[in-house]
Amino acid sequence: MRAFSLLLLFLFLQTGWAQTPPLYATDAWVRATARGQQATGAFLTLRSAEPLRLVGVRSPLAAAAEIHVMRVDDDGVMRMRAIPWLDLPADQVTELKPGGFHIMLLSLRAPANAGQRTTLTLVLENAARQRQEVTVDAEIRALNALAPNPPHTPRDKATH
């Protein structure tokens, strides 16, 4: 793990909770884009001290973002689709990574160039349905970092 991932900046934009959310977010990165690409994946590792739900994400890089899951469908083809939230069980590491859960940044406002940095703002909900936001710093990494993007379901294609 890189040293910079331990230096994440946590920015608390709302005060719905008495305390800051008990969330550890590390190794956040965004896949760099090729020319003309409208969407890309964002990834990070999360661990919460209490049950939380990731219900949304924002980034200055993108006009919209979705939480996606990637699964092998009945026909044996791996596809990804949007899910309304991602549960973060207490004291359990949840990895958002290529080939699994990930954040899809959509309608990109600018190319994501390797070596540059951006931010991901995570919208979290606790058991009492209070929401709070945490912003983490993310490195943009080369297009060929780890697995390639698989095809989306036709439903997703309409919005990507």
Contact at 8 Å (CB) between 34 and 143? yes
Stretch that binds Cu ion, among 43-51, 57-65, 78-86, 119-127 (CB under 5 A): 78-86
Could you say whether residue 68 binds Cu ion (CB under 5 A)? yes
Residues 39 and 106 sit within 8 Å (Cβ to Cβ): yes
Q: Contact with Cu ion (CB under 5 A): which of 86, 104, 124, 136?
A: 104
> What is the identity of the amino acid at 56?
G
Does position 30 interact with Cu ion (CB under 5 A)? The reply is no
- How many other CB atoms are there within 10 angstroms of residue 128's CB atom? 7
Q: Which range, of 29-37, 60-68, 90-98, 119-127, touches Cu ion by CB under 5 A?
A: 60-68
Encoding tokens for residue 154? 């036709």
Q: How many residues bind Cu ion (CB under 5 A)?
A: 3
CA distance 140 to 30: 5
Q: Using the rule CB under 5 A, is 108 a contact of Cu ion?
A: no
| 124 forms part of the interface with Cu ion (CB under 5 A) | no
Stretch near Cu ion under the rule CB under 5 A, chosen from 45-53, 96-104, 114-122, 138-146: 96-104
Phi and psi based region of residue 127 (left: phi greater than 0; alpha: psi -120 to 50; beta: remaining)? alpha
Minimum CB distance to Cu ion smaller for 69 or for 131: 69
* The pair of three-digit structure tokens given for residue 49, joined into one six-digit string: 């001290």
3-class DSSP assignment, residue 142: coil
| 80 forms part of the interface with Cu ion (CB under 5 A) | yes
What residues make contact with Cu ion under the rule CB under 5 A?
Answer: 68, 80, 104
